[in-house]
């Protein structure tokens, strides 16, 4: 009995430093992700500041109607889904490509230099990025209209009025901001591959390209699946700064920049209805949860080892 107690104490003492390291993250999750769950019932109430949270009237699913009973419902749902699919597919390919390039640089100082340069956009706020974009796209004094297009002999473009260019601009800006950050995870996975496998392939005459195609890329499969499953869970969310700040909230671009998050924000600015915001958040979370369960079920059936649960 005493031996078991002393063994348990040694276990606690051994785990204590790790728990202390994890403590800030656990507290953040509790405050930011779990405590707000108690506000879910606001999605079913007509919130009244005078009556308070518990005294406000129940309204059933009325708060969800503004998400679906408007002419913008199809546009914002289409935009949210298609942009996220593009971000997942192109973003994953680009992150793996950059991770492989960085890993193949070899020299540590060179890797750190390029990695820092690629991470820099991720540290910038969307407000700054939006004004950098404005300096390029502004019709009157923008770099593209005043320098590049005249060189090519083209006509000036009213970038903030013509929506057909913005799907490409938004995808490009998203990749520029997030590819460096996403590549870190894939670089860590590549670094974990047994070097003996590469040595054996080299002895068998495999060049660098074949090593990448037949060793590196297949070995990244578990990481790709986990990252994709996590992204699928947020497929009904959008990066608010990208879709609101980057187009400078231009009304002419709503058809290609309106997503669920920007629609809810604009609705709240006009109506100031907390119940609608809670309904939108609950809808996004529920759909994301169901999509993760479905995607994980598909992975479990095809490749059980790589399923999350």
Output the pTM of the full model.
0.84
pLDDT tens-digit profile of 61-103? 888 887 777 777 788 889 999 999 999 999 999 999 999 999 8
pLDDT for 288 equals 85
Query: Does residue 106 carry a pLDDT above 80?
Result: no
pLDDT tens-digit profile of 192-218? 999 899 999 999 988 989 999 999 999
Instruction: Return all residues near 42 (Cβ < 8 A) that are at least 6 apart.
Output: 53, 56, 274, 275, 278
HEC string for 275-304? HHHHHHHHHHHHHHHHHHHHHHHHHHHHCH
pLDDT for 257 equals 93
CATH level 3 topology of 70-272: MetI-like fold (1.10.3720)
Mean pLDDT for 296-306 is 83
Q: What angle do CA 158, 159, 160 make, to 5 degrees?
A: 95
Q: Write down the domain spans for the chain.
A: 1-38, 70-272
Percent of the chain topping pLDDT 90: 41
Query: Does residue 13 carry a pLDDT above 70?
Result: yes
If one compares 222 and 38, the residue with the highest pLDDT of the two is 222
Query: Does residue 129 carry a pLDDT above 90?
Result: yes
Mean pLDDT for 57-64 is 87
pLDDT tens-digit profile of 243-257? 999 999 888 999 999
Q: Are 42 and 275 in contact (CB under 8 A)?
A: yes
Q: How far, rounded to the nearest angstrom, does the alpha carbon of residue 187 sit from its chain's CA centroid?
A: 18
């Amino acid at each position: 009995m005493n031996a078991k107690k002393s063994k348990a104490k040694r276990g606690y003492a051994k785990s204590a430093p790790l728990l202390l390291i994890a403590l800030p993250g656990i507290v953040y999750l509790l405050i930011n992700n779990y405590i707000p769950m108690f506000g879910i019932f606001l999605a079913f109430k007509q919130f009244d500041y005078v009556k308070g949270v518990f005294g406000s009237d129940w309204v059933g699913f009325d708060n969800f109607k503004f998400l679906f009973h408007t002419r913008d419902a199809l546009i914002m749902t289409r935009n949210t889904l298609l942009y996220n699919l593009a971000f997942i597919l192109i973003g994953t390919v680009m992150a793996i490509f950059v991770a492989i390039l960085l890993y193949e640089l070899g020299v540590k100082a060179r890797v750190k230099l390029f990695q820092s340069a690629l991470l820099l956009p991720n540290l910038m706020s969307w407000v700054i990025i939006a004004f950098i974009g404005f300096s390029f796209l502004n019709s009157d004094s923008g770099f593209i209209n005043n320098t590049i297009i005249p060189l090519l002999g083209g006509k000036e473009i009213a970038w903030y009025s013509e929506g057909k260019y913005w799907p490409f601009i938004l995808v490009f800006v998203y990749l520029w901001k997030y590819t460096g950050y996403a590549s870190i995870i894939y670089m860590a996975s590549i670094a974990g591959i047994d070097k003996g496998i590469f040595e054996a392939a080299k002895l068998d005459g495999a060049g660098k390209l074949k090593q990448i195609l037949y060793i590196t890329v297949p070995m990244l499969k578990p990481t790709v699946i986990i990252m994709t499953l996590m992204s699928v869970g947020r497929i009904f969310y959008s990066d608010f700064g990208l879709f609101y700040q980057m187009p400078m909230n231009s009304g002419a671009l709503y058809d290609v920049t309106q997503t669920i998050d920007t629609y809810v924000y604009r609705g709240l600015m006009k109506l100031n209805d907390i119940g609608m915001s809670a309904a939108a958040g609950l809808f996004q979370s529920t759909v994301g949860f169901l999509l993760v369960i479905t995607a994980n079920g598909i992975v479990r059936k095809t490749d059980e080892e790589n399923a999350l649960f």
